[in-house]
Amino acid sequence: MSDNPEKIKSKLEKLRKEINFHNLHYYKDNKPEISDFDFDILMKELITLEEKYPVYKTPDSPSVRVGGEPVKGFETIKHEPPMLSLDNTYSPNELREFDARVAKITTEYSYVVELKIDGLAVAARYENFLLSVGATRGDGEKGDAITENLKTIHNLPLRVETTETKFKKFEVRGEVYLSNKQFEIINTEREELGEPFFVNPRNAAAGSLRLLDPKLVSKRKLNMFVYLLVAPEKYGLKTQFETLTKLKAMGFPVNDKFQKCGSIEEVIKFCNAWEEKRHKLEYAVDGMVIKVNEFAKQDILGFTAKSPRWAIAYKFKAAQAKTKVLDITVQVGRTGALTPVAELAPVFLAGTTVRRATLHNEDDLNRKGVRIGDSVLVEKAGEIIPEVVKVLEEERTGKEKKFKMPTECPVCKGLVVRKSGEAISRCENLKCSAQLEGRLLHFSSRDAMNIEGLGKALVKQIVELKMIKDYADLYTLTIFDVANLDRMGNKSADNLLKEIAISKDRDLQNLVYALGIRNVGSRTAELLCENYATLDEIINAKKEEISKIHEIGPVAAEYITEFFKNKQTKEVIEKLAVAGVNTKRKQQTQIKNILKGASFVFTGEMENYSRPEAKNIVKTLGGKVSESVSKVTDYVVVGSAPGSKYEKAKKLGLKILNENEFLALIGKDKGKSKLV
């Protein structure tokens, strides 16, 4: 694009408008008009242009939602006025008592009743109509400045929809939360990565807001409801009802289930109705908040040391039901974690029939003293995962049976180990079929062996059809095995096998990460390979020696040495070596990442490299390869007899490289040699 400022500005405006339009369809109406892939392309185009012309980047650009640079810590923000909490009530009678206290002090008031969203309170300050500071509640007096994290919340406006000058500067407060669906998605991902679960959406939202990398926060897809404007009377507002309506008109996400009630009996009726219906909502609600509607009356009522006298929370009872434990079984997760599970006599609880409940781990089970045959109370923890909360010991007959955690994996009979200081018992067998799917996905992931095309659906089939026993068996798959899988033609089977074969040549640190050693992420793998040149050296390294490496602690060192001692590990590593997988550190690590972030498209035949080889080189150097040419392609590499991609690249004015130019770019201009 030419550097004509007007043209650039209008292009940027058009892109922002388009992205905002698609965001609206995606989130508000749940009806996306374009695929996620196309959306990402638009966003990438916007980001690239804004990076190139930073003067034209606006503070309310949708690219802000993707998250800025990581921070080292959060600054402290003083809340003015403090963020108070509310008194809790648990029964209609306590609500009547609250009303009596209000009636003693003032008259002719009404109430506004809102859902009590189960998330965490935050403050958002706006200056010049723009979101300028975001903060957690903290201790109420002071909180953490999480501005960049708050900006990733798609429904919190970056710029308010008003030109009224009185709203140039103001503060709103509200609740950040995760939808039930998003909570499930995050926990599934965590399971795949071998990370501990969040027990409920509230914890997940809290954990997400505290992340130091806004890009990661953005991926969590947090939501927000705004329920309060600080000093509303300054803006000419007289009631909470009016304020919520105004905030909504200014573009704030206001939960629309609020209602004005003339009497406490009306309030109770409204609360009861929501106690019944709350499980149908897409987010967790743990009660109702009752607020005196008129600000003049609120001012008269004032505050106690901790909370306002003009508002109260009515907490719902956690949904509980009584049932019997028919059996206790053990589930083996994808990471090898053994979880005891209570098999229950079916019981209806908060909208669903519950048949199983988690007992978390051995300690938790012992603490609760659950036995097979016990009558128990089950509860929906955080409104989602059923949990056994209490044994009704008085109902025991003496026939109940105690349960012991197995020392053998119920799936593969492998050794179960519970490390000291850990609550979780795990199956250590690298070949355990319960873990195979997770291990394969990890093995083929980007920072590991980067086997393109080996995604979730394929891995699932490979495991279900028992085609392989461990990840080393991937290298024994034949075209006959692969071509028979669902949605696999000969060509895609051939491509997949090529990708698998190419992965043998990945660097040692990729292999070490791919092995799936507990507590060994890609950074630890990198550190290991900076200190040891071959896999054999790592295998033979002593625990004490590894734990001396800066950044690798004794815990990871223990996991590493234990991992390599295991008999099944030895067998799998032997198979990898026989298959020809590289187990040595490559020499030219210093040129790694020279293509960082750049996207390539290849067309036509090259003399020096086959297409998969060229692709692998680009990937190893940190670049990306795409099949089709678009505005976001950085380089189009053209060999002999190129196809239509070449024409399109010319039309779009993209950077076109011939084979020699490509070789020069990757530092290989003097004939072919193995690069990586």
Is residue 676 near ligand IVH by the rule CB under 6 A? no
Residue window 112-131: x/- pattern of binding to ligand IVH, with contact defined by CB under 6 A: --x-xx---x----------
The β-bridge relationship of strands 599-603 and 635-638 is: parallel
CA-CA-CA-CA torsion sign (508, 514, 518, 523): positive
Report how far residue 184's alpha carbon sits from residue 112's, in angstroms, rounded to the nearest whole number: 32
* Least CB distance to ligand IVH at residue 262 (A): 20
Comparing CB distances to ligand IVH, the nearer of 87 and 192 is: 87
Tell me the residue type at 645.
Answer: K
Report how far residue 177's alpha carbon sits from residue 284's, in angstroms, rounded to the nearest whole number: 8
Q: Which stretch binds ligand IVH (CB under 6 A): 109-117, 368-376, 385-393, 527-535?
A: 109-117
Alpha helices in 339-380 (DSSP H): 362-368
Comparing CB distances to ligand IVH, the nearer of 174 and 386 is: 174
Residues, the chain, total?
A: 676
* Least CB distance to ligand IVH at residue 230 (A): 10
Phi then psi for residue 390, to 5 deg, are: -160, 140
Is residue 311 near ligand IVH by the rule CB under 6 A? yes
Which residue's CB atom is positioned nearest to ligand IVH?
Answer: 121
> 487: closest CA among 512, 527, 453?
453
* Site size with ligand IVH, rule: CB under 6 A: 14
In the region spanning residues 211 to 240, those forming contacts with ligand IVH, defined by CB under 6 A, are: 227-228
Residue 45 CA neighbour count, 13 Å, CB half: 20
Report how far residue 252's alpha carbon sits from residue 79's, in angstroms, rounded to the nearest whole number: 21
- Tell me which of 50, 99, 144, 175 binds ligand IVH, using CB under 6 A: 175
Q: Which stretch binds ligand IVH (CB under 6 A): 48-56, 305-313, 321-329, 598-606?
A: 305-313
Residue window 34-73: x/- pattern of binding to ligand IVH, with contact defined by CB under 6 A: ----------------------------------------
The β-bridge relationship of strands 599-603 and 624-625 is: parallel
Q: Confirm whether 116 is a catalytic residue.
A: yes
Report how far residue 172's alpha carbon sits from residue 129's, in angstroms, rounded to the nearest whole number: 12
For 196, which DSSP code? P
Q: Could you tell me if 379 and 334 are in contact, meaning their C-beta atoms sit under 8 angstroms apart?
A: no
CA-CA-CA-CA torsion sign (635, 641, 647, 648): negative
Is residue 482 near ligand IVH by the rule CB under 6 A? no
Residue window 176-215: x/- pattern of binding to ligand IVH, with contact defined by CB under 6 A: ----------------------------------------
- Tell me which of 86, 436, 451, 614 binds ligand IVH, using CB under 6 A: 86
Residue window 262-301: x/- pattern of binding to ligand IVH, with contact defined by CB under 6 A: ---------------------------x------------
- Tell me which of 24, 313, 389, 591 binds ligand IVH, using CB under 6 A: 313
In the region spanning residues 500 to 529, those forming contacts with ligand IVH, defined by CB under 6 A, are: none
Question: Quick check: helix, strand or coil at residue 676?
Answer: coil
Distance between first and last Cα of the chain: 35
Comparing CB distances to ligand IVH, the nearer of 56 and 303 is: 303
For 570, which DSSP code? H
Which of the following is catalytic: 52, 104, 116, 169?
Answer: 116
Q: Could you tell me if 102 and 309 are in contact, meaning their C-beta atoms sit under 8 angstroms apart?
A: yes
Q: Which stretch binds ligand IVH (CB under 6 A): 82-90, 102-110, 392-400, 461-469?
A: 82-90
For 506, which DSSP code? S
Is residue 308 near ligand IVH by the rule CB under 6 A? yes
CA-CA-CA-CA torsion sign (85, 89, 94, 99): positive
In the region spanning residues 564 to 603, those forming contacts with ligand IVH, defined by CB under 6 A, are: none
Active-site positions read 116
By the criterion CB under 6 A, which residues form the site for ligand IVH? 84-86, 114, 116-117, 121, 175, 227-228, 289, 308, 311, 313
